[in-house]
Amino acid sequence: MAGVNSSTLITKISEKITLNGNKYDNVVEKRISGISDIFKRIVTCPADVDTTIFRSGVTVDVTDWSLDVQDVKYIRVTNLDDTNSVNLNLQIDVTESGSGASAANETATILLAAGHSFIMGTSHDSVAAYDTDSSVQTTLHDLESILIDPSANAVDMEILVASS
């Protein structure tokens, strides 16, 4: 079987606004090399049902669509709904046992408004939550999964993950 040739993913964030005759435009371009795997899907999240749209682990487990946590280089989640926001839950694995299966034991939740996107880089050593005080956390942990809580509204979400 022939292998997939890796390529470079190019992302662009573009902002354009004019206030009082002054332009405040910006384009940020990022090139991520070594991409050989793309995971992209649109997921309908039923009303009142928490829906897992992404999972990572120490090793790839094709039975639950998980991607190797150390291979993920880019994640984008877009709320395709034109009215309803969702709670985007980052499920965090702080144990990092290295034994294969990952398990979330912390979470961080972000409100994702209708039509908005959430973007992050790697899922390995990339996120932390701390509820004791407001101190800055420098010990980052693996992203185990992304869960969408749509509340009382069914919504469509798009996810794109690029990995090596």
Q: What is the CATH number of the domain that holds 69?
A: 2.60.120
pLDDT tens, position by position, 130-156:
777 777 878 888 999 999 999 999 999
Residue % of the chain over a pLDDT of 70 = 90
Which two structure tokens, joined as six digits, stand for 15?
Answer: 């902002």
Is 28 within a domain? no
Q: Which domain holds residue 81?
A: 36-163
Is 99 within a domain? yes
Is 27 within a domain? no
Q: How confident is residue 99, by pLDDT bands cut at 50, 70 and 90?
A: very low
Is 151 within a domain? yes
Q: How many domains does the chain have?
A: 1
Predicted pLDDT at 63: 53
Is 145 within a domain? yes
Is 60 within a domain? yes
Q: Average pLDDT over the chain, rounded to whole?
A: 89
Predicted pLDDT at 100: 47
